[in-house]
Structures are given as C-alpha cells and as structure tokens.
Amino acid sequence: MNLSRLDPAARGHGMTSQRARDRLVERLAGEGIGDRRVLEVMRQMPRHLFIDEALASRAYEDTALPIGRGQTISQPYVVARMTEALLAHGEPRRVLEIGTGSGYQCAVLAGLVETVYTVERIEELLRAARRRFRKLGLANIRSRHDDGRLGWPDEAPFDAILLTAAGAALEPALLDQLAPEGCLVAPVGPPGSQTLIRVSAGADGWISEPLAAVSFVPLLGGTG
C-alpha cells in the first residue's frame, strides 16, 4: 500500500487526515494491540474510503459504522484484535475471510499476508468493496459472491479463516477447509452475547480459546 500514489482527497484531510489515523493507532496501542505490523498497516489504511462520504468525518473513531443493507464496517479495535490473533498463530500466507462488507478488514489483511480470499453474500456490497480494492491498488485479493458458510472449497486449504459475521455455532464446512496447522477466528453466539474465539487443532480435536466479548451482525444463509 502506498498512499502517496493516491490523489490528495483519497489521502484525506482534517478529520480524515494522517493525523487522525495516527491518533486512532495510538489509541489501539494503548488498548493493548501490540503487533507493530498490524498497527502500521492500520496507520496507512484510509478507512474513510470504505464508508459513505457523509460518515467520513467519523472514520477514525473507534466504532462500527453503517455501510448499508443493515450491515456495518467493524470497529477498528476489533479489526486489530482479530488480525493480531490470526498472525500470532503461525505465519499465515493464504487467508479466507467470510463477510467482505466494506472491504476494510480484508484490505488490512491484504497488507499483511500473501493472498486474501473473501466471500460476501450481498452483491452490492461486494461490488463497492472491489472498487475500493482497485482504487487502492490491492492486487492480492480474490473475492466471490456466495454464501460464505460454504467457504471456498476450490481454493482450500487455508492457513487461516476469519469470520466477520456471527453464527450460532461454527460451520463444519469451514473447519474442513482449514490447513492442519491453521486457525479460525470468529465471533460466535446470539446477538447480545457473542464471544470472539480462536479455534485450532489440538491432539484430540479442536481447541477453542475465547479472546473477547464482541458484537457482530449475524451470519446469514443464502445470497442477497
């Protein structure tokens, strides 16, 4: 990612300036995000380009924001925490994300791993995310319009899988597409009582570590 290649409006000014991004990253570090690689990519990533212009002035608040169709761009702290949890488990090269949404989480991952595969069930959101990836010159993202609960079997196995929508339980199809040494990071549980977990293979089956209490939109079936 090279922000200097973007036109000045895309680099941001005032509430969307580099100073605003720096302050957000300082706040994330203060809240316990310790992985320098994650902080550096988030310092560079123009989150204001992933939301509607009318909300751009709030892009560097540490909060989830609406992106249309009842969906939200995740809170920066949660993006950082999930990305950090994923990188702390080995050195993933190929990562599958379920729930492209605005594309922000995917773009952050694309700055850190070799290839990101991302699946979104709402075509309109996926098209907007693809435009953003092109504008930012992110060439290591492959995306697909589908029900992400099925994963992306043709490209499996993945070194890591990240879900940005919460299901009641883990999807067996996704665990099947995880490499033996890989990990899956996902919010699980009903609205109002979700836990972010990291799942990896242990000697006698899956090991699930709780990471944080979170609040995500639901993982839905089918495509829209």
Query: What are the residue numbers of the active site?
Result: 74
| Closer by beta carbon to ligand SAH, 192 or else 202 | 192
Position 125 contacts ligand SAH (CB under 6 A): yes
CA 70 to chain centre: 17
Closest CA to 82 of 205, 220, 171, 183: 183
Closest CA to 174 of 188, 187, 160, 164: 160
Are the C-beta atoms of 67 and 51 separated by less than 8 Å? yes
Number of residues forming the site for ligand SAH (CB under 6 A)? 23
The residue with tokens 């990519």 is 41
Q: Which stretch binds ligand SAH (CB under 6 A): 55-63, 131-139, 146-154, 184-192?
A: 146-154
Q: Provide the 8-state DSSP code for 118.
A: E
| Closer by beta carbon to ligand SAH, 180 or else 183 | 183
Position 121 contacts ligand SAH (CB under 6 A): yes
Q: Which stretch binds ligand SAH (CB under 6 A): 7-15, 102-110, 153-161, 183-191?
A: 102-110
Show contacts with ligand SAH in window 194-223 (CB under 6 A).
Answer: 217, 219-220
Binding mask 47-86 for ligand SAH (x = CB under 6 A): ------------------------xxxx------------
Task: Please return the burial class of 173, using the count of CB atoms within 10 Å of its CB with bins 0-12, 13-18 and 19+.
Answer: middle
